[in-house]
Structure 1
Amino acid sequence: MTLTIFNLCFQNLNAESIQERFSPPNGFQRNRFPNESFATYLQNFPLKPIGSSVLLYDGRTKTNQVHVAVLDFPLLLDDLIQCADAVMKLRAEYFYSQKKYNQIQFKISNGMEVPFSRFVKGERVQVVGNKSQWKKGKYKQGTGRDVFEEYLHFIYSYAGTISLKSELKKKTIQNLTPGDVWIEAGSPGHVVIVVDQVTGKGGQTLFLLAQSYMPSQEMHILKSQSKYSPWFELPENQSFQTPEWEFPSKEFYGFVK
């Protein structure tokens, strides 16, 4: 399989991070998490320069610019990295950065578990209709970036909001932490991910949200309608409005591990 991508180097370590650019509002303090946690990885995720527009996979500028910042988030030159794919990419990149290769695993839409560890061993998945099976051959092995990108390309092609939601655990919004998501599964469905969190003296929680969307586009941090914008407040009603999608407030989930 030949992959065409903008850039194999996923993170620009010299770029300004989410927590460096977005200071907590007055009266709030940023929540701190263990150094090697997914939450801390997201808080330190690099951003493109201030004023950057969100670009689509084909280089065009997104029509609806609803963001305050753009993540340094390379895309494929195909319409593959949409909302759920972007969240899975973040999760996979987190484990890959820590060399926790055995924890990189996702389901595809027919329910099949696809761990990266089997790609590492030189196995690949053959998909015919709704059926899939592992096959062996003279495939590239190892944990190199090229094998990892091939694995991700497969996941983007055969996973989505429905398969992602099946892997998550239901949470209450009072227990929100970076890495949690609002997700509505379907065709179409949508998902947004919490990437930072602050707490006020009275216990009030604010958070930043990021998304990709359709068609495939750079991941970006969303504006909110809150007086603390771009920080969002916990929803108090049955629905949670984001710039391009309204979620049922209860459709809030976190990764199991």
Structure 2
Amino acid sequence: MMRLGLLFIALTLSGTAYARAPYGWLPSQALPAPSLAERIAPPPGFERIAAPEGSFAAWLRGLPMRPEGAKVMTYTGAPKWRQDVHVAVVNIDIGKRDLQQCADAIMRLRAEWLYSQNRDKEIAFNDTDGKRRRFSSSRSSDHAGFRKYMDLVFAYAGTYSLERELKPVKPEQMAIGDVFIKGGFPGHAVLVADMVENRATGEKRFLLLQSYMPAQDIHVLKNPKSADGTPWYSTEIGDQLVTPEWVFLRSGLRRWP
């Protein structure tokens, strides 16, 4: 009995007893799903930029996807009125309330990654009034408790607060995990979910994820300026980044501090 107790203490100290699944919202019996990286190949002549194991970038590339051809659904269970803006849908829950919209979806993904790495103390967001809401203050640290915390964040935070939390970065210095954002009521935000590079020319391209209003499935955006239908955007965006449902200024690119 004593040996079992000592073993439990050792496992706890090593973190083994509290190992978390990388995508904690999925049921344990869920069948393997294609990842974002498996679903969307780089354009001809491009290859994915290196991403360290365990990084936010690597985690985003591993996001599980819904079956090919899946519709974007809203929190009500009805299809989004536009089905012409996406190329793929992330397999992640929306919730049953009109909460997980654009900035909320981005905060959800960032927090899910931190949660999967047991970095609970780093899961914190400012609300619109500037109050810091920390997951470590929640009563429950299981995933159900985490989801309740995120719904609270969604209710009190948004593009206005998130824009002020993030740090400006130039498009030429873009990295996976950066955010294009326009804070406001309404505002909008999209997440840089992947990047590729043409080693011969040095050109870089990126993928974008978004949710929108009303709360809806997180999805990979099409590039409305793409002549060949590819969803990849060039980092050479000029003064504006044109997406299917919003136009961002190049000065709207932000990074997590």
TM-score w.r.t. length of structure 2: 0.86
> CA separation in 2, counterparts of 1:73 and 1:227?
30
Residue 168 in 1 paired to residue 186 in 2? no
**What are structure 1's unaligned runs of at least 5 residues?**
1-7, 120-140
| 1:191 paired residue among 185, 189, 192 | 189
Residue 10 in 1 paired to residue 29 in 2? no
Q: 1:112 aligns to what?
A: 131
Closer, same or farther in 2 for the Cα pair 1:24/1:47, shift >3 Å? same
Closer, same or farther in 2 for the Cα pair 1:93/1:9, shift >3 Å? closer
| 2:107 paired residue among 88, 98, 117 | 88
Cα offsets for 1:8-32 (capped at 9, x unmatched): 9524571100111111111111012
Q: 1:136 aligns to what?
A: none
Q: 2:226 aligns to what?
A: 226
Closer, same or farther in 2 for the Cα pair 1:82/1:38, shift >3 Å? same
Q: 1:200 aligns to what?
A: 198
DSSP 3-state at the match of 1:155: helix
Matches within 5 A, 1:14-29: 14-29=32-47
DSSP 3-state at the match of 1:148: helix
Matches within 5 A, 1:20-169: 20-65=38-83, 66-119=85-138, 141-169=139-167
Which structure has the bigger radius of gyration?
2
- Structure that is richer in helix per residue: 2
Q: 2:210 aligns to what?
A: 211
One-letter amino acid of the counterpart of residue 102, structure 1: K
**Shift of residue 42, structure 1, vs aligned partner:** 0.5
Q: Percent identical across equivalent pairs?
A: 40
Q: Moved runs in structure 1, 4+ residues, more than 3 A?
A: none
C-alpha contact (below 8 Å) 1:198/1:207 kept by paired residues: yes
> CA separation in 2, counterparts of 1:208 and 1:216?
21
One-letter amino acid of the counterpart of residue 10, structure 1: W
Task: Name the Cα RMSD after superposition.
Answer: 1.4
Cα offsets for 1:102-122 (capped at 9, x unmatched): 110100110011111111xxx
Closer, same or farther in 2 for the Cα pair 1:24/1:179, shift >3 Å? same
> CA separation in 2, counterparts of 1:54 and 1:172?
31
One-letter amino acid of the counterpart of residue 40, structure 1: A
DSSP 3-state at the match of 2:99: coil
Cα offsets for 1:137-190 (capped at 9, x unmatched): xxxx34112221111111010000011111101101111111101000000000
DSSP 3-state at the match of 2:76: coil
> CA separation in 2, counterparts of 1:165 and 1:236?
20
**What are structure 2's unaligned runs of at least 5 residues?**
1-22
> CA separation in 2, counterparts of 1:53 and 1:200?
31
C-alpha contact (below 8 Å) 1:226/1:233 kept by paired residues: no
- Structure that is richer in strand per residue: 1
